[in-house]
Amino acid sequence: MPKIEVTSSNLEEIKDQCLVIAFFEDNLKPNKEISDFDRLISNVINNSIKNRDFKAEKDESKLFYINNKNLKCLALLGLGKENDFSLSKLMDAIGKLSKKLRTSGIKSFALYLDSFRNKNYEQNAYLEKITQAIALSLYQFTKFKTKDLDKLKSIDKVAIIAANNDISKLKKIVNEALILSDAVNKTRDLVNTPPNIATPEYIANHAADLAKKNRLKCTIFDEKQIEKFGMGCFMAVAKGSANKPRIAVLEYNGNGKEKPIVLVGKGVTFDTGGYNLKPSAYLTAMKDDKAGACGVINILEACAKLNLNVNVVGIAALAENMISDKSYRPDDVLKSYSGITVEITNTDAEGRLVLADALSYSLEYKPKAVIDIATLTGASIIALGYFASPVLGNNQELLEKIKAASEKSLEKIWQFPLWEEYEELIKSDIADIKHVHDGIDAGVIVGAIFLKHFVKDTPWAHLDIGATVWAKQEKGHIVKGATGFGVLLLLNLLRYWE
């Protein structure tokens, strides 16, 4: 991640290689500071606006190579029409430009966004989003590359030029935005790590490392303890793999004796589907099935770094869904930690089994709310496409809080119902409930209606990130591979919890 700082330097004093100036399409008039500076660089800005070389349309950016002291390059960035503008579009534009500058070999740039200074935009919000767009868009996963490392390009430093004299306040916003972005990038790192390395044990050790470095308590349960707890659903999924399961619990205390908010993350380090084996095309990328747990671990670290005023417990439920003579099968009946018996109908619906026991266990903390985050269903892709996640729960007040957090984090979610009628679908002839119905109807809801049985009356919400966990294509600040979806959302929920 580049070093990102706020400065109030004059344009003439910029020491970075590239200066970026952004304009709205319908306000192309440079202010005095820009005009004065433009004269020093042979009126590049004025000329390109006058000649219509640069129109400031959305997605437009023009690079000019100049020679002015340290400055090698000037970039004009178009933000489109001011009325159509939003923070999402800002992130998109800054993300795209940051990647373009990196490809051009630029090592450092300074960003001047005059258009915002005298307008109604909330300075804090835009500064936070600019910082996140830069930090997230420049993410690269290079851990396993051994060749041509010298050809890898990176941007080391970015300066955001602010008009406000209250630089210390703005620095605080940037620093917090960096802690949030770091949590996302570390989640991306862990999710991108291949399944032969990122085993349940590896991820649990990683959680323990984070706890040591921060003000966090860490408890790790191994397979013997999980078995002893009577977590029959969790163990059934885990048993088929030589990579033994773990439950990692991280605790952050930021508010004395207050009841905690518990986050539970699905951490299936690889999901083959088990005996209901996935077709080969669906097996690749199933390392992303641990994203919920990876997010939870990094969220807990960020809570400590941000010094939040809440108590948070993070439970990472880590297991691998494999095939062997120890594996569970369709037709098995399992006894969960809660005592509820579950008839297995499809071993590929392993996530809800792992979560069932982890959710019941979370009640031991007498939480004021439990939120689980899980790559639970492919049905979420069918329902909402790749850019939004379903959210469901048993408490509307909690769901509204989560929606407000999603407005802040700019990660799209959509509430699905948990009507009683769906209970019919998971009735079992031989056990208390079954975990999957026959058919492909209401897949997202059936997953959640099953989980609901394991949280009793505790306010609970379930975020299904099956669709949003992985990006097949670059887009704005989103980088191909693991996205870290939900991390910013949950951190915003905890930051502004009331």
Residues labelled catalytic: 278, 352
Q: Residue 379's binding partner, choosing from ligand BES, Zn ion, none, with beta-carbon cut-off 5 to 8 A by kind?
A: ligand BES
Q: Does 271 bind Zn ion (CB under 5 A)?
A: yes
Residue that the structure tokens 């406000």 belong to? 164
Residue 399 beta carbon to Zn ion: minimum distance, rounded to whole angstroms: 24
Residue 459 or 466: the one with the smaller Cβ distance to ligand BES is 466
Q: Residue 128's binding partner, choosing from Zn ion, ligand BES, none, with beta-carbon cut-off 5 to 8 A by kind?
A: none
How many residues lie near Zn ion (CB under 5 A)? 6
**DSSP3 helix / strand / coil % (the chain, rounded to 5):** 40, 20, 40
Q: Which of residues 345-404 bind ligand BES (CB under 6 A)?
A: 346, 348-351, 375, 377-379
Q: What is the DSSP letter of 490?
A: H
* Residue 308 backbone dihedrals phi, psi, to 5 degrees: -65, 155
Residue 123 or 346: the one with the smaller Cβ distance to ligand BES is 346
Q: Does 289 bind Zn ion (CB under 5 A)?
A: yes
Residue 466 beta carbon to ligand BES: minimum distance, rounded to whole angstroms: 4
Residue 157 or 278: the one with the smaller Cβ distance to Zn ion is 278
Q: Does 288 bind Zn ion (CB under 5 A)?
A: no
What's the token pair of residue 216?
């966090």
Angle of helix 87-103 versus helix 123-137 axis, rounded to 10: 40
Characterize 121-146 residue by residue with b for buried, 16 or more Cβ atoms within 10 angstroms of its Cβ, and e for exposed. Answer: bebeebbbbbbbbbbbbbbebeeeee
Q: Which of 2, 80, 245, 351 binds Zn ion (CB under 5 A)?
A: 351
Residue 463 beta carbon to Zn ion: minimum distance, rounded to whole angstroms: 15
Residue 80 beta carbon to ligand BES: minimum distance, rounded to whole angstroms: 33
Residue 14 beta carbon to ligand BES: minimum distance, rounded to whole angstroms: 44
Q: Residue 378's binding partner, choosing from ligand BES, Zn ion, none, with beta-carbon cut-off 5 to 8 A by kind?
A: ligand BES
CA angle 141, 147, 151 (to 5 degrees): 75
Do 355 and 451 contact (CB within 8 A), yes or no? yes
Q: 25: which strand partners?
A: none
Residue 137 or 276: the one with the smaller Cβ distance to ligand BES is 276
Residue 45 or 293: the one with the smaller Cβ distance to ligand BES is 293
Three-state secondary-structure class, residue 171: helix
Q: Which of 265, 466, 476, 486 binds ligand BES (CB under 6 A)?
A: 466
Stretch that binds Zn ion, among 50-58, 109-117, 261-269, 333-341 (CB under 5 A): 261-269
- What is the contact mask toward Zn ion in residues 359 to 388, using x (rule: CB under 5 A)? ------------------------------
Residue 105 CA to residue 371 CA, distance in Å, equals 43
Q: Does 271 bind ligand BES (CB under 6 A)?
A: yes
Q: Which of residues 443-462 bind ligand BES (CB under 6 A)?
A: 443
Residue 377 CA to residue 133 CA, distance in Å, equals 28
Q: Are strands 261-271 and 369-374 parallel, antiparallel or unpaired?
A: parallel
For the chain, the straight-line distance linking the first and the last C-alpha, in angstroms and rounded, comes to 32
Three-state secondary-structure class, residue 316: strand
Do 56 and 111 contact (CB within 8 A), yes or no? no
Residue 44 beta carbon to ligand BES: minimum distance, rounded to whole angstroms: 48
Q: Residue 170's binding partner, choosing from Zn ion, ligand BES, none, with beta-carbon cut-off 5 to 8 A by kind?
A: none
Q: Residue 389's binding partner, choosing from ligand BES, Zn ion, none, with beta-carbon cut-off 5 to 8 A by kind?
A: none
Q: For residue 385, give the H/E element and its range.
A: none
Residue 353 beta carbon to Zn ion: minimum distance, rounded to whole angstroms: 10
Closest residue by Cα to residue 369 from 399, 339, 340: 399
Q: Are strands 341-343 and 333-335 parallel, antiparallel or unpaired?
A: antiparallel
Residue 352 beta carbon to Zn ion: minimum distance, rounded to whole angstroms: 9
Do 318 and 200 contact (CB within 8 A), yes or no? yes
Q: Residue 377's binding partner, choosing from ligand BES, Zn ion, none, with beta-carbon cut-off 5 to 8 A by kind?
A: ligand BES
Residue 473 beta carbon to ligand BES: minimum distance, rounded to whole angstroms: 16
Residue 498 CA to residue 494 CA, distance in Å, equals 9
Residue that the structure tokens 């659903």 belong to? 233
SS (H, E, C) 114-152: HHHHCCCCCHHHHHHHHHHHHHHHCCCCCCCCCCCHHHC
Residue 223 or 289: the one with the smaller Cβ distance to ligand BES is 289
What's the token pair of residue 20?
């970026």
Residue 236 or 303: the one with the smaller Cβ distance to ligand BES is 236
Q: Which of residues 272-301 bind ligand BES (CB under 6 A)?
A: 289
Give all strands (DSSP E) within 162-293, no chain letters: 217-221, 246-253, 261-271
How many residues lie near ligand BES (CB under 6 A)? 14
Closest residue by Cα to residue 323 from 378, 376, 375, 270: 270
Residue 349 or 405: the one with the smaller Cβ distance to ligand BES is 349
Q: Residue 330's binding partner, choosing from Zn ion, ligand BES, none, with beta-carbon cut-off 5 to 8 A by kind?
A: none
Which residues bind to Zn ion, rule: CB under 5 A? 268, 271, 289, 348, 350-351
Which residues bind to ligand BES, rule: CB under 6 A? 271, 289, 346, 348-351, 375, 377-379, 436, 443, 466
